C-alpha cells in the first residue's frame, strides 16, 4: 500500500500534536513552518518582561522528530494552496499531498488601523516577544538622560486588551516596577512609571466567571496598574495614544493584545472564512467545501451543540483537535468509522503576578495562591521538553525567592543579522 501523504501547515500546538501522533509508517508526513522551532505562546509575556529566556519556550522541530523517519520538516513560507492539483506552493518547493491540514494559527488583528499596526508592539512570536523585551529595557536606559518633556512618554507603557495576555503582562510589569527596577536603577524614581491596561469591555478577563473578573481587576489595581474599562483605542502614531472617548496618553510603548485573526493560506475559498478569519470546518475538522483539506487549532471554526459559536482559541483545544484528527486518520487507514470531535472545557485560568491567579473550573472557581500553583503546574506540563520544564521551574523558583531574575539582557541584532533577515524576507516573499 502506498504511503498516504499528509502535509501539515504550522507547528503550533495542533500541528505538532498531529505530526507526533502519526507514527504509522503508512503515513508520509511533511510539516511546514516558517520557523524551525515550536513556540509556547502562553508564556511569551515572561520573555517580554525578562523573566524567561526565549530558548526555554522554544524547541527545535528536528529535535522532536529525530527518531521519526516518516516525518519531514520543511522551513518555508507557504505562498498558496492549489486544491485542484493537491499541491502546496512554498518559497522552497512544491509539495503534493493526499490530505492537507491547515494549522497556521492566528496573528494580531488591528481591525484595519494601519497606524496602530505600524507602531504597536505585538507578541505573537518569540522574535516579537524579544523585540518587546528590548523596547521595555531600552525605555529605562533612555529615561536616564531624557529631557523632562520626553520622560512621560518613555515612562508610560500601554497594553491594549484585557484578556489573559494583557492581564498577565500588566501584572508582570507591575511586579517588575516594584521589585526589580528600583534595584537596577537606584538613581531613578519609578513612581512615575505608568502601566495602563485598556479594555473595551466592562471587565478584565471578560470570558471568565464574575468572581475571576472582579478578582483580576482587584489584583491589578492593587499592583498599581491603571485599568481603563469600556475604552477603545482610536489611534496610535508611535508617540500618542488617542481613545475614542477623547483621552490622550503619550507613550513610546503600546503593546497590542486586543484581537486575533486567522492566518488563512492563499488559495482557499474565501467563502469558507468566517468571523475572526477562521476556516469553517465540520465536526471531523474537514474544511467545508473540500474533500481532502482539514483545519485544526485556532484557525478552525467548528459549530457544535455544545459550542454554537465555535470553540475558544485556546492551546488545550488545539492540542485535543490535533490528537483527535490523528486518531481519525488512523481509523480511516484501518477502514474504521471516524468519530466527531467533542470538547469538554476543563477550565480557564490566568495569573496576575506572584501568588495571584484566577482559575475557573467547570463546577467552581478559585483565586489566590492555590490558583497560582495550579496555573504553574499546568503550564509546566504543556512544555514540550523535560529539560525546558526544568529550566523554567528553576527560573521560577529563583524568582519566587529573590523577587528578581538575571535575564535582563538587551540583545540587539547586528548589521549582519539585519542583512540576513532582509535577505530571508526577500527570498520568502515577505514585504
Residues 6+ apart with CB under 8 A from 292: 83, 86, 97, 98, 99, 100
Lowest mean pLDDT across 146-155, 175-184, 202-211, 377-386: 377-386
What pLDDT is recorded for position 430?
47
What pLDDT is recorded for position 385?
82
The mean pLDDT value of the chain amounts to: 92
Percentage of the chain modeled with pLDDT above 90: 81
What pLDDT is recorded for position 330?
95
What pLDDT is recorded for position 431?
35
Note the pLDDT tens digit of each residue in 28-74. 999 999 999 999 999 999 999 999 999 899 999 999 999 999 999 99
pTM of the model: 0.91
Confidence band for 177, pLDDT divided at 50, 70 and 90 = very high
Confidence band for 427, pLDDT divided at 50, 70 and 90 = low
Residue 299 burial by Cβ neighbours in a 10 Å radius (0-12, 13-18, 19+):
buried
Q: Is 417 a residue whose pLDDT tops 80?
A: no
Note the pLDDT tens digit of each residue in 386-408. 888 998 999 999 888 888 887 78
Lowest mean pLDDT across 38-47, 106-115, 261-270, 410-419: 410-419
What pLDDT is recorded for position 413?
73
Q: In the structure grid, which three cell numbers stand for residue 301, read together?
A: 471554526
Note the pLDDT tens digit of each residue in 252-266. 999 999 989 999 999
What pLDDT is recorded for position 32?
97
In angstroms, rounded to a whole number, what is the distance separating the alpha carbons of residues 132 and 48? Answer: 6
Q: Is 361 a residue whose pLDDT tops 50?
A: yes
What pLDDT is recorded for position 416?
67
What pLDDT is recorded for position 404?
86
What domains, with CATH codes, occur in the chain?
A: 4-34+76-108+260-333 (3.50.50.60), 114-258 (3.50.50.100)
Q: Is 424 a residue whose pLDDT tops 70?
A: no
The mean pLDDT of 92-107, rounded to a whole number, is: 96
The mean pLDDT of 233-240, rounded to a whole number, is: 95
Confidence band for 429, pLDDT divided at 50, 70 and 90 = low
What pLDDT is recorded for position 24?
85
The mean pLDDT of 168-184, rounded to a whole number, is: 95
What pLDDT is recorded for position 422?
65
Q: Is 375 a residue whose pLDDT tops 50?
A: yes
Amino acid at each position: 500500500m502506498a504511503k498516504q501523504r499528509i502535509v501539515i501547515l504550522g507547528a503550533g500546538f495542533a500541528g505538532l500534536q498531529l505530526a507526533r501522533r502519526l507514527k504509522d509508517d503508512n503515513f508520509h508526513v511533511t510539516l511546514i513552518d516558517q520557523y524551525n522551532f515550536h513556540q509556547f505562546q502562553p508564556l511569551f509575556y515572561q520573555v517580554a518582561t525578562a523573566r524567561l529566556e526565549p530558548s526555554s519556550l522554544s524547541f527545535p522541530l528536528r529535535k522532536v522528530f529525530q527518531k521519526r523517519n516518516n516525518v519531514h520538516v520543511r522551513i518555508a513560507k507557504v505562498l498558496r494552496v492549489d486544491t485542484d492539483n493537491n499541491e502546496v506552493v512554498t518559497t522552497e518547493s512544491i509539495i503534493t499531498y493526499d490530505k492537507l491540514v491547515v494549522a497556521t494559527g492566528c496573528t494580531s488583528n488591528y481591525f484595519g488601523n494601519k497606524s496602530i499596526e505600524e507602531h504597536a508592539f505585538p507578541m505573537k512570536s518569540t522574535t516579537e516577544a524579544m523585540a518587546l523585551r528590548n523596547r521595555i529595557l531600552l525605555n529605562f536606559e533612555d529615561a536616564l538622560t531624557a529631557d523632562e518633556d520626553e520622560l512621560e512618554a518613555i515612562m508610560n507603557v500601554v497594553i491594549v486588551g484585557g484578556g489573559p495576555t494583557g492581564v498577565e503582562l500588566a501584572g508582570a510589569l507591575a511586579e517588575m516596577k516594584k521589585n526589580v527596577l528600583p534595584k537596577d536603577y537606584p538613581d531613578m524614581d519609578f513612581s512615575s512609571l505608568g502601566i495602563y491596561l485598556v479594555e473595551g469591555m466592562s471587565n478584565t478577563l471578560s470570558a471568565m466567571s464574575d468572581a475571576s473578573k472582579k478578582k483580576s481587576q482587584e489584583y491589578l489595581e492593587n499592583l498599581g496598574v491603571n485599568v481603563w474599562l469600556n475604552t477603545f483605542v482610536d489611534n496610535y502614531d508611535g508617540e500618542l495614544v488617542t481613545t475614542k472617548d477623547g483621552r490622550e496618553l503619550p507613550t513610546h510603548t503600546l503593546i497590542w493584545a486586543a484581537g486575533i485573526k486567522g492566518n488563512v493560506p492563499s488559495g482557499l475559498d474565501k467563502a469558507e472564512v468566517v468571523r475572526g478569519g477562521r476556516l469553517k470546518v465540520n465536526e471531523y475538522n474537514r474544511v467545508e467545501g473540500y474533500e481532502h483539506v482539514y483545519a485544526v487549532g485556532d484557525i478552525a471554526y467548528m459549530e457544535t451543540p455544545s459550542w454554537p459559536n465555535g470553540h475558544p482559541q485556546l492551546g488545550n483545544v488545539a492540542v485535543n483537535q490535533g490528537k483527535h484528527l490523528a486518531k481519525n486518520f488512523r481509523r480511516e487507514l484501518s477502514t474504521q468509522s471516524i468519530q466527531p470531535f467533542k470538547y469538554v472545557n476543563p477550565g480557564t485560568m490566568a495569573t496576575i503576578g506572584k501568588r495571584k491567579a484566577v482559575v475557573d473550573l467547570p463546577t467552581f472557581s478559585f483565586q489566590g495562591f492555590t490558583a497560582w500553583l495550579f496555573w504553574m503546574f499546568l503550564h509546566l506540563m504543556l512544555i514540550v521538553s523535560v529539560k525546558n520544564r526544568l529550566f523554567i521551574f528553576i527560573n521560577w523558583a529563583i524568582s519566587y525567592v529573590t523577587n528578581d531574575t538575571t535575564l535582563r539582557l538587551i540583545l540587539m541584532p547586528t548589521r549582519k543579522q539585519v542583512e540576513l533577515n532582509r535577505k530571508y524576507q526577500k527570498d520568502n516573499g515577505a514585504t
